[in-house]
A and B are shown apart, each in its own frame.
Chain A
């Protein structure tokens, strides 16, 4: 039952945030009459809403999402850090957490890079992005690491492992146009008081114009500042 409810809600997301009941039934493999009933129940409680265009995500999910613990905690701690980093760089900034094979942006600031898919709630693959590599280099969570590197062959894995050693030594990961053509990302991990990576913070900009070397200490400094602010919050 829980599976069916979640399958329907996630199918709305996968359909780009708007879908008909028929599309939801097709996407989930749930019989249309059952899908229709489940949608009706979700609409009644505000998880979904009906519009002329189709079924969309409702206000209740916005409200619950705004109260989700990790994004809220990171958001409160990160605002002054991001303001300072933005003043220093003017580039795209993201704070992201690991989820499965992806990094999920929980705070996003738009810089000069455009167009680029940058807003809170967007996922990028952890295995190629600076955000993901900054997380992966410091995590001791093996199931998270497996989820991220599962698609690599042994050569890819060796190559990544060498890169991660370097990331561990300088606490900065770089993505040179591997994820998005023409876009360089520089990221550093944000650690819990137990030194587990809870998030990563990144600067992303156009490869031809952004001075990567200048970004490294700025991002490192921001990640340390955010780590410190989270630790103070925890007390």
Chain B
């Protein structure tokens, strides 16, 4: 594969980003080379270029995902549009049910968590950007329970909202359907009035 072959470079960058995204603590170039299966010299060169542009950050010898990725990610079209339409409903749901409200967007066979409105005893193991298989049953810590995800499907967006309850609260998932429909209406007319 030619060195300046665009597919090759992008594939290598992608695997570097993915491996670093799996591990908050970050890692050195040698471990990164080992876990990506790329030659150390290639990893070293790409990492330098990406650190210079702040797509990665270097702390001593540890490499992690950088702030430029965060900045670009905040502009991502579908999550931004969906969050605008959904956040007011999610806050209302949280008030009404006392549960943590999660919003995830579909990506192929996975769901990517894009927003969370937490209850008072939140599950801190769940974080924005988490990816889970769409059809897998979720494990929750301790006695908490998760409702069936309710689909939000409108204006080119395929997503789902879920409630996560502390175990000692009665599950009342009824408001979830209504909220999903309200989010869909918001997406259709681009109504962002709850968040001016």
State the A residues within 8 Å of B (CB): 1-2, 4-6, 9, 12-13, 17-18, 37-38, 41-42, 45-46, 49, 51, 56-59, 61-73, 76, 97, 99, 104, 106, 114, 119-121, 123
Contacts and interface: CB of A to CB of B under 8 A. Distances in A.
A123 B68 CA distance: 11
Given A59-B76, A70-B64, 14 more contacts: A1-B6, A6-B53, A6-B55, A45-B10, A57-B72, A57-B73, A57-B75, A59-B78, A59-B112, A66-B128, A70-B57, A70-B70, A99-B68, A99-B71
Interface of B: 3-7, 9-10, 13-14, 17, 20-21, 24, 26, 46, 49-50, 53-55, 57, 64-80, 105, 107, 112, 114, 124, 127-129, 131, 156, 196
A121 B75 contact: yes
B156 to A, nearest CB: 7
A81 to B, nearest CB: 15
A97 B67 contact: yes
A71 B70 contact: yes
Contacts of A97: 67
Contacts of B73: 57, 61-66, 68, 121
B66 A68 contact: yes
13 contacts: A1-B9, A5-B10, A13-B71, A17-B80, A56-B77, A58-B77, A62-B112, A64-B21, A65-B69, A66-B114, A68-B64, A99-B67, A121-B73
Given A2-B13, A49-B77, A114-B196, A61 B57 contact: no
A123 B75 CA distance: 13
